[in-house]
Amino acid sequence: KTQNHLRMSVIPQGTATLRKAKKTTVKTSLDNPFVFQWKTIDGEDMHFILETLEERIKHIGLKKIESPRKKKRSLTKKQTERKCDAGTNELPKEETENHQQKPGWTDVTIRRQLAIGVNEVTKALEKNELLLLLVCKSAKPAMITSHLIELSASRATPAGQVPRLSETIAPLLGLTSVLALGFKKLSDKFTEAIAAIIPKIPALDVPWFQYRTEESMAYADTDSSENLEPEELAEVLGDKLTSQKRKHTESNRLDLSNVILQPLKIKKLVPNPNKIKKPPRKKRKAFSA
């Protein structure tokens, strides 16, 4: 009897299962057939863009001053007295400058004429506030700035990817990195720089947008007017903008005869089978007990 009881209690191998294996859910969706990439800028044009921006920012003197962090203790009274006795009645220049300058931007009005960073540039493009957009090539992954191609093309805003943009301009502005830099339409301090840089930027290739509009070409024409003062240049740019907007609204109807339809790609999202799912906290306590 005991032998028969033991035989009945033994469970055959492979039949006992704690959980049933879940079916892998595959999500299918339609993907964009187009691949957008920034066009490369030549070496001479790249150096020209960086030099013009560097000269203009240095001339304006725009910079962000951070609040001084806790450093080593400042000079004691005895040390300062010794320096005074030695004939140096003044503290070092760096210390006096740091004490005089307040933390923040040196000029807030000039700062409002710029859009710095990917988030700020995206918001400004959505509101159609930018005249020019420059993106750094060092932005990784590339999808951080790839959405700006379509967005800037939809707003007819000249945009280009400039290598070494962050490493040259970020220290001038007192920032750690500048992955995107946009110039707003009311930026009177950067009119000459914008007019000089726009002709150096290649047109974006977005199939459903005619990017190189007359609006952007108007700024290229202003490059020849070197003798004009900045105030006169700003007036010329404003007049051309208003006239080009009228023409753009009049010629808003597109010719769809040459449009080629692209097949949509089927995109499948499969979950990672090697992903280890952690149990909830309640179950963890039960297992540990």
Outline which parts of the chain fall under CATH 3.30.1330.30: 43-62+107-248
Paired tokens of 250: 């009049």
The whole-model pTM stands at 0.60
State the pLDDT at residue 207. 78
The full length of the chain comes to 289
CATH of segment(s) 43-62+107-248: 3.30.1330.30
Q: Is the omega angle on the peptide bond into residue 279 within 30 degrees of 0, that is, cis?
A: no
Q: Give the pLDDT confidence score for residue 278 in this predicted structure.
A: 77
Measure the CA–CA gap between 137 and 160, rounded to whole angstroms. 10
Would you say 136 and 161 are in contact if contact means Cβ atoms under 8 Å apart?
A: yes
pLDDT score of 131 = 94
**Farthest-apart Cα atoms in the chain, separation:** 113
Both tokens assigned to 5: 């009881």
Q: CA–CA distance from 197 to each of 84, 193, 207 (Å)?
A: 52, 6, 24
Say if CB 149 and CB 94 are below 8 A apart. Answer: no
Q: Which residues contact 114 (CB under 8 A, 6 or more apart)?
A: 62, 181, 182, 183, 184, 187, 190
Cβ atoms 189, 165 nearer than 8 A: no
Q: What is the pLDDT of residue 161?
A: 95
164 C-beta neighbours (distance < 10 Å), count: 14
Residue by residue, pLDDT tens for the chain (289 residues) are 555 554 555 555 655 556 676 777 888 887 777 888 898 898 899 999 999 999 999 999 999 988 776 544 555 555 555 555 554 444 445 444 545 667 889 989 999 999 999 999 999 999 999 999 999 999 888 889 999 999 999 999 999 999 999 999 999 999 999 999 999 998 889 999 999 999 999 998 887 775 344 444 444 454 444 455 555 555 655 565 556 555 555 555 556 666 677 777 788 888 787 777 777 776 555 555 5
Residue 289, token pair as written in the block = 């007990």
